Chains A and B, each alone.
Chain A
């Protein structure tokens, strides 16, 4: 039985920062019902990012803007442990699924809203996409080494969305744990803006002054001479010679006793101070041998290192025998797209193993069975569909997958 067995998450979210959190809660054993508009989640057009946030869920497609559709949404809220969405200010209230509405229907409910900016404040009424918060948290400035005169650089992982979603998982589960112990539900919120800030949480001011943190070189190789990528004869190597013992081992592997004796590089603080001089000495040395030769030499000497993997867009990682054997790859059959593969279990439990078995749902794929579970009979269900209140795929599938 998985850890969150019996927990029902009703997911009214679209795009990324809403849906990703419920997907992770689904991996942990929660039952997740995705409530999407009758024309489908707007993110479906994007392909990969949509698939990445939807596995394990069942979809009911309904029009919350109709009274009968709202009544069905309310019936789901009544049964929910957690209601989760990423609508912008006022939208949920207008639809009739704001916190006050949900609390009236289900007094103990945990209600989570993932925002772009935040609940209140000068920009709270704005929506927004991940790049804005990579900018506001300094991620793009540092990623591109803009202090060297480079352009700022966007991280293509879209990780502020994921951070917002994961903060919402931690917050929702903390609220659920509190609810299980006290019987009291509550509302919580997280934001893309705060998620971005967590990524730069090593930033610190003392008496208002900047405390310097390690920065990238202009070539985007790393943050220190001994913690960076070096080009080799045929590729690359990442080294992490962090301790003094690692440094001595690196000098040995490089067959460079003169570096070990050089007073400029005697301890880590001096190596940081003379970073460019040291890098100038190390760059040509690493160019002299192949990556595989270096990794063996560095391993033998005891220097932490890895050859950067070109995974061909993840294919090599998702097909790696160890990753598959350890459950870190999930594979499922999609009714239209064939076999899908994505990362699998990110957290493993000795007593309550998770189960990942269901592909991202089609628009309204589970409308019928969810309506039956809510107690609707066949005539009612057909009536709802004929009136455009709900939908599900028939012989034709007119929506984005």
Chain B
């Protein structure tokens, strides 16, 4: 059994944060119904859709029709949680706003995650991830190979909201155990972006400049960037000074730099000599094969990872990453549209109530008959409710 067995979630969300946030709950046992408009979620073609939307059933409902709204209301009567990602105001216009549904089902936890919070001057503006990367200041925080804002390939605002959505839902469900009542829980992609500023955005009145410089933005990019090294064949590794283990041989010796100063001698060198040795070290890395270097460093208790693509981690070019595999994070999912797929697994590990993938992404309306028929609707009524889509 899963920790969230019996929790019923209506998922009206689209994009990344809503579907992926809901996924984290679905794979701990929650029963999720994706409610799609006639014709299906317009974002089906996006990369990642098949992963983010797995482990749920799908029903298509035309919320703009009276019959659709009626059927949706009956799903709400039986639901614990609703998740929506429309712009503020849209659900009220559709007649499925918080007030209306709370009156109908006071136990309902109603989670909203628009681009910007309701009441913010930016709330009427479009909420695509890259726009919030820009407006929230994140693009300017990231140094790159040129001055100016850097587009973040990782959709950072969405990936923040991804975690805030299930955190808010679970908090409200825990609170409901005591109060018996649901409530309106609100977050946004904008707040998702703020989540990742925790290490860098601190206003500290009495802080010296060094406090800001230590982990601050810099050109060229700072501390951790300097630990990326190019190996043979144009491949790269990232090393770290901390492995939690006691190294049995220094990194420099493993690189073949036998005359290397020890770390204390190195720190005491004049800057130009330090730079000269750092350059030699960079050249040293280039003489080593990446796979051999990683194996050798790890065998001597040094923290190191190959800089690979996620597809390589999943096993596209050989063996998958051995620890990702050990963590159960390489999953095979039979997808009715795509065929045999390899995707990430379940990233939260509850030992007594283990989570599990509940099934592939559903085709739009794949469960119309099962869900709507279960409510007692006839085939003709189902056709009206679903806008004739299936």
> A228 vs B216: C-alpha distance in the bound complex, in angstroms?
25
- Structural contact, A28 and B171, CB atoms closer than 8 A: yes
A142 to B: closest C-beta gap in Å = 4
> Is A194 at the interface (CB under 8 A from chain B)?
yes
- Give the number of residues in B that approach A within 8 Å (Cβ atoms): 146
> Is A177 at the interface (CB under 8 A from chain B)?
yes
> A178 vs B12: C-alpha distance in the bound complex, in angstroms?
25
> Is A247 at the interface (CB under 8 A from chain B)?
no
- Structural contact, B117 and A328, CB atoms closer than 8 A: yes
Contact of B172 among A3, A155, A174, A316 (CB under 8 A): A3
> What B residues does A49 contact at CB under 8 A?
198-200, 215
> Is A20 at the interface (CB under 8 A from chain B)?
yes
> Is A188 at the interface (CB under 8 A from chain B)?
yes
> A213 vs B46: C-alpha distance in the bound complex, in angstroms?
9
Q: Name 23 A/B residue pairs within 8 A (Cβ), A-sorted.
A: A47-B211, A48-B211, A52-B201, A135-B228, A135-B308, A141-B309, A153-B225, A157-B200, A187-B351, A194-B347, A201-B343, A202-B52, A206-B341, A240-B131, A305-B131, A306-B134, A307-B135, A318-B201, A322-B119, A328-B117, A348-B186, A350-B184, A350-B186
Given A178-B3, A240-B130, A348-B187, A51 contacting B204 (CB threshold 8 A): yes
Segment 256-293 of B: residues with Cβ below 8 Å from A: none
> What A residues does B139 contact at CB under 8 A?
229, 238, 308
> What A residues does B156 contact at CB under 8 A?
157, 159
> What A residues does B177 contact at CB under 8 A?
177, 180-181
> A112 vs B351: C-alpha distance in the bound complex, in angstroms?
10
- Structural contact, B201 and A313, CB atoms closer than 8 A: yes
Select the residue from B133, B159, B167, B214 with max chain A CB neighbours within 10 A.
B167
> What A residues does B321 contact at CB under 8 A?
136, 193
Contact of B215 among A48, A190, A210 (CB under 8 A): A48
> Is B105 at the interface (CB under 8 A from chain A)?
no
- Structural contact, B148 and A159, CB atoms closer than 8 A: no
B140 to A: closest C-beta gap in Å = 4
> A148 vs B386: C-alpha distance in the bound complex, in angstroms?
46
> Is B47 at the interface (CB under 8 A from chain A)?
yes
Per-residue interface assignment for chain B, residues 218 to 240, with 1 indicating a CB less than 8 Å from any chain A CB and 0 otherwise: 00011011011010000011101
> Is B253 at the interface (CB under 8 A from chain A)?
no
- Structural contact, A146 and B348, CB atoms closer than 8 A: no
> A215 vs B5: C-alpha distance in the bound complex, in angstroms?
38
> What B residues does A188 contact at CB under 8 A?
348-351
Given A339-B205, A346-B164, A131 contacting B316 (CB threshold 8 A): no
Stretch from B57-65, B69-77, B323-331, B372-380 that touches the partner: B323-331
- Structural contact, A175 and B206, CB atoms closer than 8 A: no
Per-residue interface assignment for chain A, residues 312 to 331, with 1 indicating a CB less than 8 Å from any chain B CB and 0 otherwise: 01111110001101101000
- Structural contact, A197 and B145, CB atoms closer than 8 A: no
> What A residues does B389 contact at CB under 8 A?
none
> A186 vs B164: C-alpha distance in the bound complex, in angstroms?
23
- Structural contact, A53 and B352, CB atoms closer than 8 A: no
- Structural contact, A177 and B145, CB atoms closer than 8 A: no
Given A178-B353, A343-B194, A349-B172, A153 contacting B221 (CB threshold 8 A): yes
Segment 88-129 of A: residues with Cβ below 8 Å from B: 88, 116-129
> A170 vs B169: C-alpha distance in the bound complex, in angstroms?
9
> A215 vs B307: C-alpha distance in the bound complex, in angstroms?
16
> Is B126 at the interface (CB under 8 A from chain A)?
yes
- Structural contact, A121 and B327, CB atoms closer than 8 A: yes
A176 to B: closest C-beta gap in Å = 6
Per-residue interface assignment for chain A, residues 151 to 178, with 1 indicating a CB less than 8 Å from any chain B CB and 0 otherwise: 1111111110111001101110111111
> Is A32 at the interface (CB under 8 A from chain B)?
no
> What B residues does A282 contact at CB under 8 A?
none
- Structural contact, A207 and B149, CB atoms closer than 8 A: no
Given A178-B4, A314-B137, A204 contacting B309 (CB threshold 8 A): no
> Is A347 at the interface (CB under 8 A from chain B)?
yes
- Structural contact, B324 and A136, CB atoms closer than 8 A: yes
A150 to B: closest C-beta gap in Å = 6
> What A residues does B200 contact at CB under 8 A?
48-49, 52, 156-157, 313-314
